Amino acid sequence: MPFLADNIQNYAPALPWAGAAIAVGALVASLRACWKRRLIDNLPTSKAQSVFIGLVELKGTAECEEPLSSYLGEEACVYYAFEVQERWSRLVTYTEDDGRGHMVERTREEVGWTTVAAETQSTPFYLQDDTGHILVHPDGANVEALGDFDETCSAMNGLFYAKGPPGLIMDSDGVRRFTERVVPLHAPLFVVGQARERQDVVAPEIAAAPGSDYLISTRTQEEVSSGLGWQFWLFLLLGTVVAPGGHIVGDLAANQEITPLSILIYVSEFLIYLAIWTVGWVITVYNSLVALRQRVEQGWAQVDIQLKRRHDLIPNLIDVVKGYQAHEATTQEALATMRSQLAATAPGQAGGDFKAVGADVQILKEAYPELKANENFLALQKSLSDTEQRIALARSYYNSIATFFNTRIQVVPDRFIAGLGGMQPKALMAANDFERAPVQVDFAAAASKA
């Protein structure tokens, strides 16, 4: 077509720059997909009961006491997004050169779709697994929902006006397409987002946070990771082809001769693009390892926070026991021994037993029957029991994230990149390292000495 050929020749000088711009965009998209995939693969899956503040990954089902009803499919759900499009067609008249120096008038038909109605609705819901549930706010999340409605109909169909606007658009063909995506009630979900403290109760919740990835997906973790892997390689392939390809097409369109020098330039552009991408990939991998190391440190900090919380509860228990004790010296010694076990230690080193205190408090409870009726003691005992459970969960999370980190820095090619930053494996918390002999509270012996 002469008209098309003339236009290609006119735009030939801009083709290399257009190719370069597309290649840069593909490079950024490839590295971004790499970062997201590594983030998902590096995060250990937490249980609803063991969620702490920070970036977490969860799996469970969507539960809600007052679910939404989707607009088109009328299905019980926690999220839906629908769109109504209307088809139009029109004849467009234009003039062009016929190739012989004459301008001729031509007509062509244009067909397209215009969105005439669309809406997205969501409601907070609970993500439930085998340990409990956690509140999730879907606002601001990248929601990957299921398609539950897709129908195209004419104005003769009752759906046309029942779920669409009453009027027609200009040049309408009288055809509408109705589509809807939903997150159904009880649907299995994969969630990656920031956990924060709730305002109404002492519990965490998942919500959008500035500068943080937030994903709610009906796909599995494996499917999400695989999809990002395909994006990574496809964008890389696109960039390597387009980087020199724009220059080649521009030269061919301008009828320039392909010389050995031209081929050398094309190859150089290809190699330069790969070199830039390699540098970007190294930076992306290194930054992801740094972020993973920070999450390991955060995991240990969460253990330390729970240890501090337990340490603050012990003095209150002591005050309650003092009001009932008949053998002050022995009880004080037992409680002092328990308190001495609360010293925080570095990961992997010997330290306080995370479960021994609960057993010792039970001994005190049995030694002082009156404590069983004391509300303060029972409340403190429950708080202490909950705290020790949180400590065990925090230790489990720390071991999981530390294992991910240790594996990452030992496999190729991450091993070489980790060496650039001098990253070393993190010691795991072994339960045996924290065991201490239980406190022996011999009230009979103490009474004989009195």
Q: Single out the residue of 414, 380, 284, 391 nearest to residue 344, CA to CA.
A: 391
Closest of 430, 411, 429, 142 to residue 289, by C-alpha: 411
For tokens 């006006």, what's the residue?
161
Residue 446's pLDDT is what? 37
Beta-strand ranges (E) seen in 64-102 are: 68-69, 76-97
Cβ burial of 84 (10 Å; 0-12, 13-18, 19+) is buried
Strand 215-217 and strand 142-144: the pairing is parallel
Contact between 173 and 197 (Cβ < 8 Å): no
Per-residue pLDDT of the chain (450 residues; tens, 9 = 90+): 444 444 545 555 555 666 677 888 888 999 999 888 888 888 888 888 777 777 888 999 999 999 999 999 999 999 999 999 999 998 888 777 766 777 777 888 889 999 999 999 999 999 999 888 999 999 999 999 999 899 999 999 999 999 999 989 998 999 999 999 999 999 999 999 988 888 877 678 999 988 788 999 999 999 999 999 999 999 888 888 877 765 565 555 556 666 777 677 777 877 888 888 888 888 888 888 888 888 788 777 777 777 777 777 666 666 666 655 544 455 556 556 555 554 444 444 444 444 445 555 555 555 555 555 556 666 666 666 666 767 777 777 777 778 878 888 888 888 888 887 788 888 777 654 343 333 333 434 433 443
Q: Which two tokens stand for residue 231?
A: 């994006």
Q: Domain boundaries in the chain?
A: 45-220, 283-449
Write the Ramachandran bin of 118: left for phi over 0, alpha for psi from -120 to 50, otherwise beta: beta
Which residues fall within 8 angstroms of residue 418, CB to CB, at 6 or more apart? 286, 289, 408, 409
Q: What residue has token string 């290399």?
A: 16
Find, among 74, 58, 206, the residue nearest to 131 by Cα: 58
- Please tell me whether the overall predicted TM-score, pTM, comes out greater than 0.75 for this model: no
Place of tokens 């820095």: 409
- Residue 168 neighbours by CB under 8 Å, 6+ apart: 86, 155, 174
Strand-pair partners of 104 = 96
Cβ-in-10-Å burial (0-12, 13-18, 19+) of 173 comes to middle
Architecture of domain 283-449: Up-down Bundle (1.20)
Specify the amino acid at residue 402.
A
Burial 339-349 (b: 16+ CB within 10 A, else e): bebbeeeebee
Task: Please give the biggest Cα pair distance in the chain.
Answer: 123
Tell me whether the omega of the peptide bond preceding residue 184 falls within 30 degrees of 0, making it cis: no
**How many Cβ atoms sit within 10 Å of the Cβ of residue 382?**
10
The sign of the torsion formed by the CA atoms of 306, 309, 315, 319 equals: negative
pLDDT of 181 reads 96
